[in-house]
Amino acid sequence: MVKSCGATQSGADRFSYPYGVLFGNVISQLGARLTPDAIVVLDAGMAAALTYKHIAWHPPQRLLAPITGSMGFGVPAAVAAAMRFPGRQVVLIAGDGGFLMNTAELALAAERSLPIRCIVANNRCYGVIRLHQQREYGDRNHVGTMLSTPDFVKLGEAFGCQGSRIDSEDGIGDALSALLGAPGPALVEVNTSLSAQLQ
């Protein structure tokens, strides 16, 4: 088992909060709710990898994603997509690290009432970098991968987004319905973990 960022636990409930909502379940349920012409924007990282695995794409849906692993692409790309294609559903899927790199772009989304939907996977670390370190160096101390993340719901609300949080598997459906039904920009924080994202 991969050691989780933030905390580790063995046993049957290691994948329930605080050890992590299974992010793949969030993405699977999102896939079933996407409109036929949805635009999904990915940031780099673990959250993006799960999107490729759990969503079946159908034209004219569009996927916007960096191919070079450039963190921070997601928020400005979602804002640009919403400005370029008004009326289409725009959903951003990002990890906590990538989302924090350009969060200020939410100000433009709020100013222009762009209905971007942000799903932020909060695993409290740079997950892919952490996996590389663990693969190369085992369970020794890992450097520079832990994040002290903010309360993303409050952060989103400070920028004018409707905010909510998924803390358990039972809350996925209602949170996604509220996110996708919001009249303006909206954000949902998913409390997950590195271990839960690998499932």
Residue 94 contacts residue 118 (beta carbons within 8 Å): yes
83-110 residue pLDDT tens: 999 999 999 999 998 999 899 999 999 9
The closest alpha carbon to 53, from 71, 74, 73, 31, belongs to 31
The domains of the chain are located at: 23-197
Q: Residue 10: what pLDDT? A: 38
Q: What is the Cα–Cα distance from 121 to 110, expressed in whole angstroms?
A: 21
Q: Residue 124: what pLDDT? A: 78
Share of residues in the chain with pLDDT > 70 (%) = 80
At 199, the pLDDT band (50, 70, 90 cuts) reads low
Average pLDDT value over all residues in the chain: 84
* pLDDT above 60 for 171: yes
46-79 residue pLDDT tens: 788 888 888 998 999 999 999 887 888 999 999 9
Q: Tell me how far the alpha carbon of residue 184 is from its chain's centroid.
A: 18
Higher pLDDT, 169 or 127: 169
* pLDDT above 60 for 1: no
* pLDDT above 60 for 164: yes
Q: Residue 7: what pLDDT? A: 38
Q: How much is the average pLDDT of 151-164?
A: 95
pTM: 0.85
123-137 residue pLDDT tens: 877 666 666 677 777
CA terminus-to-terminus distance, the chain: 10
Q: Residue 153: what pLDDT? A: 95
Higher pLDDT, 42 or 53: 42
What CATH number has the domain spanning 23-197? 3.40.50.970
Share of residues in the chain with pLDDT > 90 (%) = 56
**CA separation (Å) from 51 to 10, 37, 65, 197?**
26, 17, 11, 11
